[in-house]
Structure 1
């Protein structure tokens, strides 16, 4: 496989057509080596328009979804970012190139270790990986300029929104199959949040977040 050609095709045929047009994001995707964050057994899927399996039944999001979330979050160089769902560490690597500081959480020791190892090999030093349950965020390290949930939830918990700075943003994929929506929350004055629906997609669930009550008759 010609890796650089495959990377170019991923960007031009999958990511750019999905309205990812920010030159800085496209350049970052050309530089950060996604294949180094994919388990060796699935290296051939590194640039394919699909979710890539990770240990313990988890997965990396499809490249176009990762890219669109990154673009819409609009992270700035001076900002601190919290990611819930470290996975292989790839999204944290992308965030690390754009932010001052990133903390990424994963409640599975295997994945937290994988993410930390991958980030270390990539030479990214401003990302901290913690093995922790991300449902309640990380209030002691906040507040944050941006929070990203790297997986879907039925709805965003208020405890996470409360950890945003004024003007801070949280991006998440909300809802249930077959229709979910990537949604951006922006913290306003007081405890108000502006909510913007960005695009329709489907993504695997993050561990441990509450599901809506289902009525049985």
Structure 2
């Protein structure tokens, strides 16, 4: 029988902590959740590997080390309200919920919204909810958000997302137009959006995103 507990420990120690993830609360969050419960059954044995996991419909669960570095870059506070865009089956929502006050997971796939809700309930995550909607629209009725987190690559950031950031809010995403992209943090201060490049990474582009339909900073 596959030892998922040992695999999770190895993921944290050999992938996450060796990739400059030093925030102890972030590390603790990754230790707390069984990643294998959030992936398709056919891929459970790959849940803790150093690779993206195919969730179907062109979507992936971001590789652990990149995801952890993105979470750390968000500098999440325990009082923060977080929007988790393209949350899939809810793993990212579960991790973010351990660090924040409230998380709204957003996905456009009805089946994944149902799955994520069930998995999060079973995992006793009580400060998160997953809603269905168009990813490009965000979730303005639940905002403004202190943090917006994006799962998957996009060519640029839609202006409607930055409009949903609170003052001093951070948007963390992977900007990619070719084979290699950059994880960037966009911060809103005095209604002005600043940009910081954090590290190089790559992932499949979230289906439905096109350069001409987004706001260019």
- Please state which band the TM-score falls in when normalised by the shorter chain: over 0.9
| Contact 2:148/2:170 (8 A) holds in 1 | yes
Q: TM-score, normalised by structure 1?
A: 0.93
Aligned residues: 212
Which runs of 5 or more residues in structure 1 are unaligned? none
CA distance, structure 1, for counterparts of residue 207 and residue 141 of structure 2: 21
Q: Report what 1:49 is aligned to.
A: 50
Alpha-carbon separation, structure 2, partners of 1:57 and 1:142: 27
Please say if residues 107 and 134 of structure 1, whose CA atoms lie closer than 8 Å, have aligned partners that are also in contact: yes
Encode CA deviations 1:138-170: one digit per residue, 9 max, x unaligned: 112111111011111100011101111110100
Match of 2:80 in 1: 79
Q: Residues 12 and 30 of structure 2 are in contact (CA less than 8 Å); yes or no, is this contact kept in structure 1?
A: yes
The alpha-carbon deviation at position 212 of structure 1 amounts to 4.5
| Contact kept in structure 2, 1:55 and 1:110, CA below 8 Å | no
User: Post-superposition shift, 1:210?
Assistant: 2.3
Q: Structure 1 residue runs of 4+, over 6 Å off?
A: none
Aligned to 2:150: 149
**Which position in structure 2 is the counterpart of 1:207?**
207
Aligned to 1:61: 62
Cα distance between partner residues in 1 of 2:138 and 2:48: 30
Alignment partner, residue 16 of structure 1: 17
Corresponding position: 1:98 with 2:132: no
CA distance in 2, matches of 1:208, 1:100: 30
SS of 1:53 mapped into structure 2: strand
The residue correspondences of 1:96-175 to structure 2 (distance < 5 A) are 96-175=97-176
User: Are the counterparts in 2 of residues 106 and 134 from structure 1 also a CA contact under 8 Å?
Assistant: yes
Aligned-partner Cα distance in 1 for 2:151–2:37: 18
